[in-house]
Chains A and B, each alone.
Chain A
Amino acid sequence: MATDRKAEVTWQGDLMSGNGRVDSGTSGAFGGLDVSWPARSEEPEGKTSPEELIAAAHATCFSMALSHGLAEAGHPAEELKTSATVTFQPGEGITKIALDVAGRVPGIDEGAFLQAADGAKQNCPVSKALTGVPEISLTARLES
């Protein structure tokens, strides 16, 4: 079954001096998020950007896939803390995404955790949608 998720942006003005507002169109979970080109390409000053939203999409997708992989392997996670850092080169695009995960997973060794994390990085739907990104890196560690 296909699932649709929609988001809306209202933009006013040109690129350099204009600004936009981002709303979640399906869930209503977020709304009124300001975006602008200066905030995207220079100091954010509390404003989100397409790249930060990609970071959020990737970190959420990866965390879910990893929790699934760990449970399938018989080691359900108590807690996963993931960050995704997206590097954007204006004029070029997204050049790198760095995933970092720290997990509290009873009964698993470091090697198996790394393997599960790598599987999540390869297979989560957002990773597959971003195969055009030149570099996606991963660091993973266990926490007690």
Chain B
Amino acid sequence: MPRVQREANVTWAGNVARGSGAISAGTGAFDELPYSLATRIERTDGKTSPEELLAAAHAACFAMSVATELTSAGTPPEHLDVTATVTLDQVEDGSHRIVSSELLARARVTGIDAAGFERLAHAASEGCTLSKLIEASAKVTVNARLEGGTDGD
């Protein structure tokens, strides 16, 4: 398959404490999303942040992997919800680090039990390229939950 390139652009004005920036997607899918330091580490006030964008990337990657695993197992999802929660923390030397990304998959699937779904969700994280990247420096956890009572029992 050919290589794919995706680009995003940021304009930042001012210093870090009081300045602010705006993010636009090369595809046009989002445009001029505002962000700032205060809203990155304190109240969001409706503004996104690098960590929220990373969470969105990770959730989107993981959702595609879970859909793939469930379909390959012959039990495609009727409905699949995924969340990723990225945690930024101050570490011993005073700098900020992304310390974890917690994945949760909730699915309505016929013909699979809870243990089977949990196995597939872990395999999906292993197959998600972003999980591999983030695992090099932070903890990735996977939780899986079947919904709707169709757990195959």
Total chain B interface residues with beta-carbon distance under 8 A: 87
CB-contacts of B63-80 with A (<8 A): 63-64, 66-68, 70-71, 76-77, 79-80
Question: Does B21 interact with chain A (Cβ within 8 Å)?
Answer: yes
Min CB gap A144→B, angstroms: 16
| A138 in the interface (beta carbon within 8 A) | no
Contact B27 A46 (CB under 8 A): yes
A27 touches B52 (CB 8 A): yes
User: How many residues from A make CB contacts under 8 Å with B?
Assistant: 89
Listed in ascending order, the chain B residues whose CB lies under 8 Å from chain A are 1, 3-17, 19, 21, 23, 25-30, 33-35, 37, 39-42, 44-64, 66-68, 70-71, 76-77, 79-90, 95-99, 129-130, 132-138
Complex interface: chain A residues within 8 A of B41 (CB): 1, 3
Expressed in whole angstroms, the Cα–Cα distance for A86 and B6 within the complex equals 5
Q: How many Å from the CB of B20 to the closest CB on chain A?
A: 10
Q: Which chain A residue shows the least CB distance to B41?
A: A3
Contacts of A71 in B (CB 8 A): 15-17
Closest Cβ–Cβ distance, residue B85 to chain A (whole Å): 4
A123 and B71 CA atoms in complex are apart in Å by: 40
Other A-B contacts than A60-B10, A67-B12, A132-B135, 10 sampled, CB-CB below 8 A, are A5-B85, A5-B88, A8-B82, A28-B44, A50-B64, A52-B25, A54-B130, A77-B19, A78-B13, A83-B10
Chain B residues within an 8 Å CB radius of A63: 10, 12, 21
Query: Measured between alpha carbons, how far is A50 from B59 in the docked complex, in Å?
Result: 8
- Known contacts A64-B21, A71-B15; decide if A83 and B9 are in contact (CB<8 Å): yes
B35, B46, B86 — most chain A CB neighbours (10 Å) = B86
Residues on B with beta carbons closer than 8 Å to the beta carbon of A55? 6-8, 26
CB of A96, distance to nearest CB on chain B (Å): 9
